[in-house]
Amino acid sequence: MSDNIIPEKLKTGGRPKKPIWRFFEQGDEVDKGHYIATCLACNQTFRPGKTAIMEKHIINNCSKVDHSVREAVKYMVEMREESSNFTSTKRKGSQVEKDQTTLANFYENSELGGERKGVIDVALIKAFVCCGLPWHLIDHPFFIELLRQLRPNYNLPDRKTLINTLLTEEILRVSVKCYKLLDKEDYLTLVLDDIGAQKFAGIVTDAGSNVHAARNLLSEKFPHILNIRCIAHSLNLITKDLMKHAFAKRIIQWYMVIVTYFKKSHRPKELLDLKIQEKRILGGGLKTYLDTRWTMVHEMLDSISRLEICLKEIVNENPNVIASEAVKTIINRKRGFFNDVCDLANIMKPIKEAILNLESNKATLADCYFFLAYLGQSINKIPEDDHVAFRQHAIKTFNEHFKLYNFDEYLLTYYIHPRYRGTGVKKSKTIYRRIQGAAARIWQQMLKIPDIAAYLKEYKHSKKESAEVLLMQLGEFHLKTIPYNSPYNSNVSTPLNWWKMCIPIPPYLQLLAIKLFSIIPHAANCEQIWSICGWMIGKRRTRLSVDNLEAMSKIHSYYITNIKPELPNYGKDQTAEEIRTNLNNSFRNIEDDEIDEYDEEEMAEIVACPFTDNSEQSLSQQLEILNVLDLDLMFRNNPVANKQLDDDELDNFI
């Protein structure tokens, strides 16, 4: 009888395996209780296999893991975080009922509770990432002394723990939070295969050769995905090209003489600040010139233009304090300096306004066309007698970049925008054929999507018949017949929402419009991330690994986007916008500190250098946008033309 009894399996000691091990093969033991882990999907090995690192690999890095496995791991992390938050909240809610021993965590010399230490650990990694602090600071004696003065019983992690444990755990938490947020968004920037190629309307990148090649590869593989250049990046390139002209270079050089002197000289800076307060001039002091801030050129020129009276009064009233002859020469003796600053600022203003408007998540391909027209009109208004060479240089620069956006897709979107409705488009059979051709080509590619092709079966149309109906609807839109005659107000609606409410039968033009207006024509968020990465690496952190740099940029972007909830103590009585303003101001102070010291001999040499225009002389040419749009009809005869183009004025502008 005893022979038939199956012996019970002996229980092994130690903690049970974490659920993440279901997706990894356990290898040899490398340390007590720690084993080699090999991913079952991609065979990548981790020595040893730590839970946070394995979960991060499945969620963020493994390209071969099944989508259902990734979702399962995200769910596990999410549930663990919710359980941790629930336990913390429950304990806080019941602390009155418990013994007073829990209050010991609030006393300076008491032992820290595990939850409290975890909160401080998270705050610590936030500070290191968002302040750009080098990892080795964690081992610096004075930094350790500071934290021990603040909290004597907080055991500061070492450098290895900070990087390998705290950073990994935080990127894991942030990744799960981001996935939850993206589930609720309309526009996603995740892996193409995970979402489905049919959900993508276009791909937007800057002008780099590598990303341009990537755009072409995607367009060839998925013809229905439109290939779009980042408009904000192109406007920045226009700014840089304009600044290459000798006229603009001279103004920037003289400006830097003034700003360097007043930023680096204590008493003159104090006098300027007092004069600004006395005259109640808004907008602050002189701005520092930065290549990476795309709107900075206009802000810089505008700042010195606003402070012209202040600067002249300071120089004339305090000749013994303002010791720089170079500064005195520019402010008082350089004939026309402030007039030239004003002229250049007027050219840069529409570029700044265009960048700010087109970096919005509500920007469309139609807005690209409109603001390029606005910029073209400002260049067209440069006085021919005062700055002949610079005017031709500006026209040449504009034409070179306009070629990249004079595509039929942009023109079509401008034509079917419910506010613009093609205003200013020249009445030409050639141009209208371009618009019709673009609509037909895009529609032909859209028919390869099963959900779109299903409408042809419903209305019993062939591909050719559906295209003919589409072009007929395009004409009806131009004539404002029903249902295309609904009013449009940008304060309460968007072009995308307007078209969703406009339901023609069959809905061919509606489907085309929804596709075009779903595209946000900029990659500003990507550009910001690249800037963040460059700032994090700086000049010294050349050994920062790619994985850690990626993790830090993700954490930084998430914290800045959700800045108020992530700073519960600092932001208690402030709005998110106020916190961001304070954050930006803190970085501006850092930028001011990085200005080179003022060298009078060097600055005097710059001022004394005669102005020579070595720029290549361009043949007289006209703006190429005039072949498509009548800028006089759009702008010159409109009283709003010389005002800032904010949302309220735009409705009256067209």
- Evaluate whether residue 213 is within a structural domain: no
Where among 69, 96, 129 does a domain terminate? Answer: 69
pLDDT of residue 233 exceeding 70, the answer is yes
pLDDT of residue 439: 94
The per-residue pLDDT for 482 is 92
Judge if 405 and 280 occupy the same domain.
no
Q: How far apart are the first and last CA of the chain?
A: 97
Q: CB within 8 A of 109, min separation 6: which ones? A: 152, 153
Distance of CA 634 to the CA centre of its chain: 30
% of the chain at pLDDT higher than 90: 17
Indicate whether 311 belongs to any domain.
yes
Structure token digits, residue 102: 């829990």
Q: What is the DSSP string of 380-444?
A: HTS-TTT-HHHHHHHHHHHHHHHTTT--HHHHHHHHT-TTTTTTTB---HHHHHHHHHHHHHHHH
For residue 22, the enclosing domain spans 17-69
CA–CA gap between residue 152 and residue 111 (Å, rounded): 9
Residue 517: is its pLDDT beyond 70?
yes
Residue 530's pLDDT is what?
63
Query: How does 437-450 read in b/e, with b if 16+ C-beta sit within 10 Å?
Result: ebbbebbebbbebe
Average pLDDT over residues 86-98: 49
Residue 160's pLDDT is 85
**CA dist list (Å): 88 to 113, 125, 188, 319, 337:** 11, 20, 33, 65, 63
Both tokens of 418, joined, read 């419910």
- pLDDT at res. 511: 93
Write down the pLDDT at residue 641.
Answer: 37
- What CA–CA distance (Å, rounded) separates 562 from 556? 10
Residue 250, Cβ neighbours under 10 Å: how many?
Answer: 18
- Residue 609's Cβ-side half-sphere holds a number of Cα atoms within 13 Å equal to 15
Same domain, 518 and 393: yes
Two tokens, residue 259: 């700003």
User: Would residue 208 count as lying in a domain?
Assistant: no
Are residues 590 and 458 located together in one domain of the fold?
Answer: no
Average pLDDT score over residue span 570-589: 73
pLDDT at position 7, please? 47
Q: Are residues 374 and 460 in the same domain?
A: yes
Residues 311 and 299: their CA atoms lie apart, in Å, by 17
CA 119 to chain centre: 29
To the nearest whole percent, how much of the chain has pLDDT over 70? 73
315 and 348 share a domain?
yes
Task: Report residue 643's pLDDT band, with 50, 70 and 90 as the boundaries.
Answer: very low
Task: Tell me the residue type at 184.
Answer: K
For residue 266, tell me if it sits in a domain.
yes
More confident residue, 509 or 102: 509
- Examine the domain organization and report whether 336 and 407 are in the same domain: no
Residue 138 lies in a domain: no
Residues 481, 405, single domain; the answer is yes
**Does residue 512 share a domain with residue 370?**
yes
SS3 593: helix
In a domain, 380, yes or no: yes
- pLDDT, one tens digit per residue, over 644-653 is 344 434 333 3
pLDDT at site 603: 66
The mean of the pLDDT values for the chain is 78
State the pLDDT at residue 604. Answer: 66
pLDDT of 43: 92
**Of 410, 429, 431, residue with least CA distance to 420:** 410
Residue 606: pLDDT above 70? Answer: no
Do 294 and 275 fall into the same domain? yes
Angle between helices 337-358 and 231-243 (to 10 degrees): 170
**Is residue 578 assigned to a domain?**
yes
Q: How many CB atoms lie within 10 A of CB 605?
A: 11
Report d(CA 104, CA 92) in Å as an integer: 14
| Overall average pLDDT of the 407-427 stretch | 90
The pLDDT assigned to 24 comes to 92
42 with 21, same domain: the answer is yes
Task: Assess contact for 166 and 121: CB atoms under 8 A.
Answer: yes
Percentages helix, strand, coil for the chain, rounded to the nearest 5? Answer: 60, 5, 35
- pLDDT reported for residue 527: 63
The residue whose two tokens read 């340390």 is 31
Same domain, 649 and 587: no
> Average pLDDT for residues 578-589, to the nearest whole number?
69
- Residue 204 — very low, low, confident or very high, per pLDDT cuts 50/70/90? low
Average pLDDT over residues 526-548: 66
Give residue 85's pLDDT: 61
What is the tens place of the pLDDT at every residue in 355-413? 888 877 788 889 988 998 999 888 888 877 777 888 899 999 999 888 877 788 889 99
Q: Which residue has the tokens 């593989």?
A: 221
From residue 190, alpha-carbon distances to 182, 424, 543, 616 in Å are: 9, 38, 28, 45
Whether 545 is covered by a domain: the verdict is: no
pLDDT on residue 136: 81
**DSSP H helical ranges for 183-244:** 192-195, 209-221, 231-243
Range among 114-123, 290-299, 507-516 with highest mean pLDDT value: 507-516
Work out how many domains the chain is built from and give that number.
Answer: 3
Does 332 lie in the same domain as 235?
yes
Confidence band (pLDDT; 50, 70, 90) for 464? very high
DSSP structure string for 268-302: HHHHHHHHHHHTT-SS-SPPPP-SS-TTHHHHHHH
- In the predicted model, is pLDDT for residue 329 greater than 90? no
pLDDT of 506 > 90? The answer is: yes
Range of 219-223, 479-483, 574-578 with top mean pLDDT: 479-483
Q: Which helix (H) or strand (E) holds 590?
A: helix 576-593
